[in-house]
Structure 1
Amino acid sequence: MLNMGGPRNASEVNSYLKGIFLDRDIMRLPFQDTLGNFIANKRTSKVQHEYELIGGGSPLEKFSLIQGQKLVENLDSISPETGPHKAYLGFRYNEPTTKTAIQQIIKDDVKNVIAFSQYPQYSCSTSGSSFNDLYKLQKQLDPKQSIKWSFIDRWGTDPLFVKYYSDAIQKSLGKLDPSVRDSVPILFSAHSVPLYVVLKGDSYANEVGASVGCVMRELRDRGVVNPYKLIWQSQVGPLKWLGPATDEVIKKYGKEGVYKDLVVVPIAFTSDHIETLYELGIEYRDLANSVGIKNFVVVEPPNGNETFTNCITNIVHKQMQNSKRMNYQILSRCFDCDSEQCGITKNWIKAQLSSLL
């Protein structure tokens, strides 16, 4: 289960931030080694304080373990012939890292592994970065290629993913005064990416839009008539980022004064992170209140929800059943891709998939 990770305590914040700002798959900075370290060091104390406000560390590992355990239980029940199953966490920038996961896989003598990206929508800067890391580490730790890999790279339109968010949005709308319930804007907020990532042909923005479109189609079928928008959060550093920015949208709604209620949906998150608990739950809620938004409702991400764990179970089970089918989408590269590592990783993935045919 591949993910970016999150610092579990204050002592991990600096190394986590350095991992992000030094990773050229995430963002390309001028003089990356120097500027990346500078930004990480400058932001450390601020981010440590933010984690203190949400309990001292990221809850990502906790919820990932819950999801992984339920996934294993479900698979053991519906597919005993392929069991026993086991889930491993592979984080990019803190323990348990992908390296730790591969070492344990080798120790457990597991031969067939599904690399399951926990980002529902694919981006070179998230799933792509994790797959690049996986390629380098398996080459180092398993030079004889004893492990056979298959891959789940995107799943943001899965019916149960759509059902979870549709249910959660309706539940949140139900908290609002009936007199305004149908007119309150639904704001789908996803983590932004540098604008150059989108302009080179990265599919992330389109895939997030597809998730939003599927959820809204389901909600329309249920009779939900609220207006909606897709907006982007968590911009940081000197680069230009994909917008409109979530905080700017909140300010605009406050300035216009038409709405006193907003519902915000973290559509690209599968569990709580600092982006949901602090950025949306504290920082942007305070901002909303300061500009006249009285009721700022943040839809809870899936975390350990049963619909969601059934969702990832079905996705993995289908992958196990269809492992002999080529996944051509994962082999596709951005139109203006200039990453040598991307090409190397895609060729390795193609070879792995071809070996299963």
Structure 2
Amino acid sequence: MKKKGVLILNLGTPNSPSVKDVRVYLKEFLNDPRVIDIGRIAQLLLVNLIIVPFRAPKSAKEYKKLFKIGGGKSPLLTYGNSLTSKLKDISSEEFDVELAMRYGSPSMEDVLGEMRLKNYDEIYIFPLYPQYASASSGSTIEKAFKLINKWWVIPEVSVIGQFYSNPIYINCMVNRAKEFELSDYDHIMFSYHGIPERHVDKVYLDGKPCSDHSCEDEINEENTHCYKAACYATSRLLVKALNLKEGSYSTCFQSRLGRDPWLKPYTDHVIENLGKEGKKRILVFSPAFVADCLETTIEIGEEYLELFKEHGGEKIQLVPSLNDNDDWAQGLYEIIKEKVKTI
């Protein structure tokens, strides 16, 4: 029987909320050419001389809040470790499971180095991003192959790709919704992490922009790997499963950085408008995040709540991410098992 190892990966987190550790984390993250794709020299100057020096102190304050909520630890890492432990218990006789972060610790270098010593016949790379984007899944996959490429003995290596429409993932999201009475809310939001518009435009080899490929309405042969198309597809599946009425929900994109156009509509703009329209209570799903983190707990749960109140709203309820829930651990096992079985 072949020896199999699965590496599950998430974005990462600073080692602590100190300005120093946040600065180290941001430098590694934002210097990735798949994250900021403006040419290497321009990127290095922008990130290291402008963005990081000015952003690190502000981000450190936000991470301090997050770590406090997490009992002095990063919730992303806590949930990741717990989820990995549950997966190991479920899959112990079939395949090994390890956790790494694209940026920060535990690093891909360290974890893949440990996996190398176990002499696996097969290694599966599984970025925990439901919707593919070059800046997230693409960067993670590229880094994994670069590291494994240095090995003298290279095992069979496979990627477990995006799962934005997988019924297991959708059902787990619906299970989170069951914790709330949807009729108590004036509007439902599906808020995804934003990316620059040029990132989705680059997906298309025909030279036409994303806006020419019906990404908000359907998945077709051309937009299968378009992040925007995948996000809207996830929203459609959740809308159907939750039996939401047209006009009672929105799909939007958060966390933009810089002045370049990012995917629209922007979450903060949608929230402002909902407040001005007299909406008082909003329920927010974050389908792009499988674990709660800065973008969900702080950005949505605190910053957007404050924005909503400034424009007449009263409450924003964040639906918890899948985190380390038992159904999600079992679901991930099923997704991995299906991939391992078919290759």
Could you tell me the TM-score, scaled by structure 1's length? 0.81
Query: Which residue of structure 2 lines up, in the alignment, with residue 97 of structure 1?
Result: 107
Q: Structure 2: any 5+ residue segments left out of the alignment?
A: 1-7, 204-224
Residue aligned with 1:4, SS: strand
CA contact (8 A) 2:190 2:250 kept: yes
Task: Say which of 324, 328, 331 aligns to 1:308.
Answer: 328
CA contact (8 A) 1:72 1:87 kept: yes
Task: Say which of 122, 139, 157 aligns to 1:129.
Answer: 139
Instruction: Give the total of aligned pairs.
Output: 305
Query: Which residue of structure 2 lines up, in the alignment, with residue 27 of structure 1?
Result: 36
How much has 1:155 moved relative to structure 2?
A: 0.8
CA contact (8 A) 2:131 2:227 kept: yes
Task: Say which of 13, 16, 22 aligns to 1:6.
Answer: 13
Are residue 157 (structure 1) and residue 161 (structure 2) matched? Answer: no
Query: Which residue of structure 2 lines up, in the alignment, with residue 186 of structure 1?
Result: 188
Which residue identity lines up with residue 230 of structure 2 in the other structure? E
Counting only pairs closer than 5 Å after superposition, residues 258-273 of structure 1 correspond to structure 2 as: 259-273=279-293
2:298 & 2:15 partners in 1: Cα distance?
A: 15
Q: Structure 1: any 5+ residue segments left out of the alignment?
A: 175-179, 324-357
Q: Deviations over 1:180-236 (max 9, x none)?
A: 53x62110000000110112225111111111111111112xxx5472111000001
Could you tell me the TM-score, scaled by structure 2's length? 0.85
Residue aligned with 1:27, SS: coil
How much has 1:95 moved relative to structure 2?
A: 1.2
Counting only pairs closer than 5 Å after superposition, residues 266-285 of structure 1 correspond to structure 2 as: 266-285=286-305
Residue aligned with 1:279, SS: helix
Residue aligned with 1:264, SS: strand
CA contact (8 A) 1:187 1:265 kept: yes
CA contact (8 A) 2:66 2:293 kept: no
How much has 1:88 moved relative to structure 2?
A: 1.6
How much has 1:3 moved relative to structure 2?
A: 1.9
Query: Which residue of structure 1 lines up, in the alignment, with residue 4 of structure 2?
Result: none
1:184 & 1:162 partners in 2: Cα distance?
A: 23
1:48 & 1:106 partners in 2: Cα distance?
A: 35
Residue aligned with 1:155, SS: coil
- The worse-fitting range, judged by mean Cα deviation, of 157-166 and 298-307 is 157-166
Residue aligned with 1:236, SS: coil
Q: Which has the higher strand share?
A: 2
Which residue identity lines up with residue 152 of structure 2 in the other structure? P
Task: Say which of 181, 191, 199 aligns to 1:197.
Answer: 199
Counting only pairs closer than 5 Å after superposition, residues 158-237 of structure 1 correspond to structure 2 as: 158-173=166-181, 181=184, 184-201=186-203, 203-220=226-243, 224-225=244-245, 227-237=248-258
Identity %: 27
Query: Which residue of structure 2 lines up, in the alignment, with residue 17 of structure 1?
Result: 26
Which residue identity lines up with residue 323 of structure 2 in the other structure? N
Task: Say which of 113, 117, 131 aligns to 1:107.
Answer: 117
Residue aligned with 1:172, SS: coil
CA contact (8 A) 1:113 1:150 kept: yes
Q: Deviations over 1:146-193 (max 9, x none)?
A: x2211101112121211121122232235xxxxx53x62110000000
